[in-house]
Chain A
Amino acid sequence: ETGVTQTPRHLVMGMTNKKSLKCEQHLGHNAMYWYKQSAKKPLELMFVYSLEERVENNSVPSRFSPECPNSSHLFLHLHTLQPEDSALYLCASSQGNSGGPEETQYFGPGTRLLVL
């Protein structure tokens, strides 16, 4: 596989469930990101990892817990979510060599999450 992949593509969970979203990049990049895309709202940056260190947590509630075990994999662990957390969750990666804002981000297809 090439590029950025995300699994699962669709997920339905109850408010008491615990689930995890997985992202894998095959581009040799050093930086990875989680975004939330809700209907009628701009994409929201959630977390940024560079060289497996979290460098940004954009005021995300603690019911979302990211994990970056290595530079190719990124997880988003979910627990006790609310219906308003239903959204498309996008993962992205970039080269991350310079941490530069000029870098292109490469996005996965997203996981569409529905919280009941």
Chain B
Amino acid sequence: AQSVTQLDSQVPVFEEAPVELRCNYSSSVSVYLFWYVQYPNQGLQLLLKYLSGSTLVKGINGFEAEFNKSQTSFHLRKPSVHISDTAEYFCAVNAKAAGNKLTFGGGTRVLVKP
């Protein structure tokens, strides 16, 4: 079985400040890792994903995430946020042998303040 924990349910942050969203996963097998973003009244959109290779993954809108196998983490960062980054962010994991069965974390709501 696989599971994902997003440690912060809400993260308030000022515009142009950095933000880090934490994600830890558990799985007995190798996994692929994803970050999705959900803007208000919209579906989820992929920010980035880790499949293999370099542990630092760059995504859209200036976001990046680092895969840390020993800590089973996949934290998301952005060095300078904009008002438009206000959204809910979801970390997800899919075991390599599981077929297409994403398991999502509970989400982190980011509120960017001016």
Contacts and interface: CB of A to CB of B under 8 A. Distances in A.
The answer to whether A and B come from one shared complex is yes
Interface of A: 4, 6, 31, 33, 40-43, 45, 48, 50, 55-56, 90, 92, 94, 96, 99-110
A88 to B, nearest CB: 9
Given A42-B105, A42-B107, A100 B42 contact: no
Smallest CB-CB A-B distances: 10 pairs: A107-B43, A101-B94, A43-B104, A107-B44, A42-B104, A109-B43, A42-B106, A102-B32, A104-B46, A108-B43
Contacts of A108: 43
B100 A48 contact: yes
A101 B100 contact: yes
B51 interface: yes
Residue among B43, B94, B104 with the highest chain A CB neighbour number at 10 A:
B43
B28 to A, nearest CB: 15
B99 A101 contact: yes
Contacts of B96: 101-102
7 contacts: A42-B106, A43-B90, A43-B102, A101-B96, A101-B102, A107-B36, A109-B42
Given A102-B32, A107-B45, 7 more contacts: A42-B105, A90-B44, A92-B44, A102-B51, A104-B46, A105-B46, A109-B42
A101 B98 contact: yes
A94 B100 contact: yes
Given A4-B43, A41-B106, A101 B49 contact: no
B99 to A, nearest CB: 6
A96 to B, nearest CB: 7
Contacts of A55: 99
Given A90-B44, A109-B42, A99 B100 contact: yes
